[in-house]
Structure 1
Amino acid sequence: MKTTLAGSAIAAFPKLTLAKTSDDFLELRAAAGEARLYGDKGGASPLWLYNDRLPGPEIRVKQGERVRVRFINELDEPTSIHWHGIRIDNAMDGVAGVTQPAVGPGESFDYDFVAPDAGTYWYHAHNMSWNQVPRGLSGPLIVEDHDNLFSGDADISLVLSDWRLDENGVLDTASFGARHDFSHAGRLGNWLTVNGVSLPDIPLQKGRWHRLRLINVSASRILDLAPERMGAKLIALDGQTLSEPREVSGIVQLAPAQRMDLAVQPTEPGTFPLEMMTGQPFAFANFQVSDGGGRDGPLSLPPVNRLPEPDLADALELPLVMQGGAMGGMRALMEDRSEDEVRKMVQDGQFWTFNGVAGMQGEPMFNARRGETIVLESRNDTGFPHAMHIHGHHFRLLEKDGEPLKHQDWRDTFTTQPQETVKIAFVADNPGKWLIHCHMLGHAASGMMTWFEVV
């Protein structure tokens, strides 16, 4: 079945529901579809969609609630669904070839897990992700806290995605898998949408506190945002609520797969933009503030999630050295390899390594005892930034370039700049086989992917 989604000048943000089966599963289907990514001025782009929507339907549950999703694959190629940032049973993590077989065309798979932590998460394809996610296979997963301090239309999910469009405003599908993208910064687009809509208007009310859940589902694009220009306070990162609202100045980077929750209380009716701050400020959405006729009191936050604190005094410390890529990065690989070996890596499309190893191997990068603290010191010896994601766990961001961070926040994805060293720590408390990979999806496909096992 093929459906078409039309663009809209006004972004509506419905709380989407999924059809339930008789055995109480939500039904989620992946199939071919179309949407106008450049608004009415652009042509219809061929996409792959969940339940004929861009982004996929918002799945919204309460903390501690059981999530049961029956996924049905109506595409012509295998796929699977990863529930990004959720600390769930390993068998439900959705990594094709590691935690489950890929779901073939016409087949189905039942995902059944409990959502333990309140926050902003998302789901996306995890088989040939470099090809499937930037065609549209992603959607928000919101786990509400029990108090639900931001309710109704004051709780807004904003799925941010960049697209590579041709001169007709249509998705450029011919460039998927381009070796230049894989070996450089990844697949970068030239147009941004919010909830699948080009330049939307987002309704807010004067005097009311709103929670803006920003989710970057781009294949490679790091978004440079400036919450201060919106008068917003930072209240959560990667699904984890902060202990108190945080004033932030300057640019805050939102890398692929990362989430950032903002609280904003407009003081006057009118319009203000959501801007990309790379180069000159570029507005890719507008907030339209109406006169709500009242004013909320002081900002309150839900309780923080209870995550296991790392024990740094008794930790397994490991390096995670990134090498390879263009801009001279491949030369570093020749320290331990012959020219012929490096040439073969390039011919095989393997441009990147972790600790000198390209791509998934039969043996894990490390084994951890359940409950053991792991400290990873990540050194980026490449010419490009990377967004590193760890499955099944959240970690404390401890240091950058040897300096302790003022805010050692919980994350599930961290950004590392060229020649930067980042230290993180987490408790390996979730049994199973878990991935570590770059969320510039082409980088993961061309070498930046490994795994560890908690036993």
Structure 2
Amino acid sequence: MLRQLFILAVLATFTAACTNHSPHHSTEHKEKTKRSDVLSGQEIHLVAKEAQLQINDNITVPVYTYNGSVPGAQIRVKQGERVKIVFKNELPEPTAIHWHGYPVPINQDGVPGVTMDAVKPGETFTYEFTATIPGTYWYHSHQKSAEQVDKGLYGTLIVEPKKEEKVDRDYTLVLDEWMSQPETSSTNGHAQHTNMHHGGNGMMHDMSMYDIFTINGKSGTAIEPLKVKKEEKVRLRLINAGYMSHKLHLHGHEFQIVATDGQPINSPQPIKDELLNIAPGERYDIEFIANNPGEWLLECHGNMKGTDGMKVKIQYEGQTSHTDKASAKETLPVVDITTYGKQKPARFTLDQTYDVEYTMNLGTAMGKNGVVFTINGKTYPDTATVNVKKGDLVKVKFVNHSPMDVHPMHLHGHFFQVLSKNGKPITGSPLIKDTLNINPGEEYVVAFQADNSGNWMFHCHDLHHASAGMVTEVKYTDYKSDYTPDPNDTTNKGE
């Protein structure tokens, strides 16, 4: 019965990405978004509520927010601290929070109908977990997430290590995409940001409708410049909360990739004029020394209409302005993170013995109602689960057979180590991730230990692909949930 409820919960919300949602509520009473706060302390308060987001001089959209901003308030805590988040829902519909990439206990994972009941309008829920692993993470709605994340319901979670190398500036930059001409009619001439970017189940998604790219909820000249001083060490935490991959170019400076998905890179070497590709759900931390005074750009490269808006100025304080003339159309190499950094002994290897081995052939097929996305030829809930017991060592092979589609595969509750790419062992730093971007024709082998009991989702973080079938579970056979979903509660819609 529990598995049936799990299946219904997952499908209900993934399918929400494929259907028209209800009309927006009146926006006249909604407040304007404010700048994102930084929250810390023994008890943190988050409120989900509606607001208006001014993306640039011409575009304002109705949004869902945490504490009135997009991105939502940044939660910033120290490693080892007990995190207590008192969450109140002031939205007109149920919602919940998932801590993306963070290995919380299963009952804090925030999947309605699977780990908890959805938080209804006017209600509160308290999340608690210990911040054991430092790094850059994010949080977002896990209730009808194809709609609610698309409306701006996400924020950032930074866990500072006990002994952190000193940096002079620490900026968090969240990437996203919006529509200025969605299929839904506009209100008072303002664009509306809807869940229709993906379609699915007979409606092929048209990503060209996403013509506004944003950094921290702003686009183009509306993005606040990053201030630096000469010789400062600057850290940029880059998080992709959208549904497209973005290739970013840091102009005028060498930089190092110091972490991916919050996990450190061993001996990162300086690189310059190479593009950093960030897939949906991924995070990259980069650092550079501000040793080239002037005004420079961190910008997105590509041919999409919104590309030109995803750029932020880096301004040296008290320095004569230098105008950056480089073009976002120039051809530059893309960093291969599997060859970056230096090797060192790691937890897993290709030739050790594993308790569980699972091959995940990622494919595209025609279903009864249109294109579906498959794992081993099946769509969820018919995909075979990854069955484990606590303590098992697990090896998973991904093979992307889709001719055109990229699949950023995300595992809840665990990190995995990337062992090989296209049949060859990786040659760079040990690579620990929770979201792995797999291009057409690519093959990866990853490994993890089943060290966090529960039943965890393992799915493509392009929610169009998930809604059309690309979902499975890591199921602990020796685990029994203490949460029983209410079969009569239709508000629990899971992912």
SS of equivalent to 2:39:
coil
1:4 equivalent to 2:32? Answer: yes
3-state SS of paired residue (2:150) = helix
2:274 is the counterpart of 1:253: no
In structure 2, what is the equivalent of residue 278 of structure 1? 302
Unaligned runs of 5+ in 1: 7-11, 293-306, 331-341
Which among 235, 242, 254 is matched to residue 258 of structure 2?
Answer: 235
Q: Which residue of 2 aligns with 1:215?
A: 239
Q: How far is the alpha carbon of 1:184 from its aligned partner? A: 5.0
For residues 326-373 of structure 1, give each alpha carbon's deviation from its aligned partner in whole angstroms, at most 9, with x where no partner exists: xxx42xxxxxxxxxxx31x54xxx722222321246x96022121211
- 2:130 maps to what in 1? 114
Give the secondary-structure state (helix, strand or coil) at the position aligned to 1:244.
coil
Amino acid at match of 1:189: Y
Partner-residue secondary structure (3-state), 1:424? strand
For 1:226, the equivalent position in structure 2 comes to 249
Partner residue, 2:46 = 28
Alignment match, 1:394: 415
Deviation at 1:196, TM superposition (A): 1.4
The structure 2 residue matched to 1:100, chosen from 116, 120, 130, is: 116
Corresponding residue of 2:390? 370
Deviations 1:174-207 (A, max 9, x none): 7356238975586972222221122321112210
**1:125/1:133 contact within 8 Å kept:** yes
**TM superposition shift of 1:435:** 0.7
**What is the CA–CA distance in structure 2 between the aligned matches of 1:129 and 1:16, rounded to whole Å?**
24
Q: How far apart are residue 375 of structure 1 and its match?
A: 0.8
Partner of 1:441: 463
Judged with a 3 Å threshold, the aligned counterparts in structure 2 of structure 1 residues 182 and 69 are, in CA distance, closer, same or farther, namely: farther
CA distance in 1, matches of 2:121, 2:408: 31
- Against the structure 1 CA distance between its residues 360 and 110, is the aligned structure 2 distance closer, same or farther, given a 3 Å change threshold? farther
1:5 deviates by 2.5
Q: Aligned ranges for residues 41-120 of structure 1 at < 5 Å?
A: 41-42=58-59, 44-120=60-136
Shift of the alpha carbon at 1:169? 6.8
Task: Kindly provide the CA deviation profile for residues 17-58 of structure 1, in whole angstroms up to 9, marking residues without a partner as x.
Answer: 37x8xxx53221111111111x1232x201011111111000
Distance of 2:49 and 2:202 partners within structure 1: 26
Aligned counterpart, 1:268: 292
Task: From the superposition, tell whether residues 224 and 174 of structure 1 become closer, same or farther in structure 2 (CA, over 3 Å).
Answer: closer
Structure 1 length-normalised TM:
0.82
Q: Structure 1 residue aligned with 2:230, among 206, 210, 213?
A: 206
* Cα shift at 1:245: 2.5
Change (3 A) 1:25 1:181: farther
Structure-2 separation of matches of 1:206 and 1:366: 51
Q: Is the 1:29–1:72 Cα contact (8 Å) retained in structure 2?
A: yes
Q: What is the rounded CA distance, in whole Å, between the counterparts of 2:43 and 2:64 in structure 1? A: 22
1:194 partnered with 2:215: yes
Match of 1:435, SS state, is: strand
Residues 39 and 74 in structure 2, CA contact (< 8 A), matched pair in contact too? yes
CA change 1:308–1:25 in 2 (3 A) is farther
- CA distance 1:204–1:187, shift in 2 (3 Å): same
The answer as to whether partners of 1:131 and 1:176 remain within 8 angstroms in 2 is no
Tell whether 2:319 aligns with 1:289.
no
Is the contact made by 1:373 and 1:425 (CA closer than 8 Å) also made in structure 2?
yes
Match of 1:40 in 2: 57
- C-alpha contact 2:294 2:315 (8 A) present in aligned 1: yes
Q: Distance in 1 between matches of 2:98 and 2:160?
A: 19
Contact 1:215 1:260 in 2 (8 A): yes
**How far apart are residue 311 of structure 1 and its match?**
6.1
Summarize the Cα distance change of 1:97–1:309 in structure 2 as closer, same or farther, 3 Å threshold: farther
Match of 1:178 in 2: 199
Aligned length, in residue pairs: 407
Which structure exhibits the higher relative contact order, with contacts defined as CA atoms closer than 8 Å and separated by 6 or more residues? 2
Q: Is the 8 A contact 2:252 2:296 kept in 1?
A: no
Aligned 8 A contact 1:224 1:277 in 2: yes
1:422 is matched with 444
* 1:99–1:78 CA distance, 2 compared to 1 (3 A): same
RMSD across aligned C-alpha pairs, in angstroms?
2.7
C-alpha separation between the residues in 2 aligned to 1:169 and 1:401? 46
Kindly indicate whether the alpha-carbon contact (under 8 Å) linking 2:147 and 2:194 is maintained by their aligned counterparts in 1.
no
Identity, % of aligned positions: 33
Q: 1:154 to 1:381 in 2, by over 3 A?
A: same
Question: In structure 2, what residue type is equivalent to 1:397?
Answer: V
Alignment partner of 1:91: what SS?
helix
Whether the 8 Å CA contact 1:364–1:452 is kept in 2: the answer is no
Post-superposition Cα deviations, 1:400-419, rounded to whole Å, max 9, x if no partner, equal 22121212411110011112
CA deviation digits over 1:99-149, x for unaligned, max 9?
Answer: 212222222221000111110000001111111111100001000012333
Query: Which residue of the other structure, out of 422, 429, 435, is the alignment partner of 1:413?
Result: 435
